[in-house]
Amino acid sequence: MGISLQPCKVTMPADGTGCTTVIEFLIKRFPRVDAQVWRERVKTGKVHWDDGSLVAEASAYAPQQRVFYYREVDDEPEIPFREEIVYRDDEILVVCKPHFLPVNPIGRYVQQSLINRLAVSTGITTLAPLHRIDRETAGLVMLSVNPNTRSLYHQLFLGDGRITKTYRALARVTADNRPQAGQRWRIENRMVEGEPWFRMTTAAGEINARSEIHCLEVYQHRALFELRPLTGKTHQLRLHMSDLGFPLVNDRLYPTLQPEAPDNFAEPLQLLAYKLEFIDPVSELQRSFVSPRTLIL
- Neighbouring CB atoms inside 10 A of 198's CB total 11
Strands 138-144 and 271-279: parallel
pTM over 0.75: yes
Give 163-258's CATH code, choosing from 3.40.50.360, 3.30.2350.10, 2.40.30.10, 1.10.150.20.
Answer: 3.30.2350.10
The domain segmentation of the chain, as residue ranges, is 2-73, 84-157+279-290, 163-258
Query: How many angstroms separate the Cα of 33 from the Cα of each of 29, 41, 65, 145?
Result: 9, 11, 21, 31
Helix or strand or coil: residue 18? helix
167-185 per-position pLDDT tens digit: 999 999 999 999 999 999 9
Helix or strand or coil: residue 35? helix
Kindly give the confidence (pLDDT) of every residue in the chain, 297 residues in length, as a single tens digit, with 9 standing for 90 and above: 567 777 788 899 988 678 999 999 999 988 878 899 899 999 999 999 999 999 999 999 999 999 999 877 777 889 999 999 999 999 999 999 999 999 998 878 888 999 999 999 999 989 999 998 999 999 999 999 999 999 999 999 998 899 999 999 999 999 999 999 999 999 999 999 999 989 999 999 999 999 999 999 999 999 999 999 999 999 999 999 999 999 999 999 999 999 999 999 999 999 999 999 999 999 999 999 999 999 987
Taking the C-alpha atoms of residue 64 and residue 12, their distance in angstroms, rounded to an integer, is 5
Is there a common fold for 2-73 and 163-258? Answer: no
CATH number of 84-157+279-290: 3.30.2350.10
Q: Which CATH superfamily is domain 2-73 in?
A: RNA-binding S4 domain (3.10.290.10)
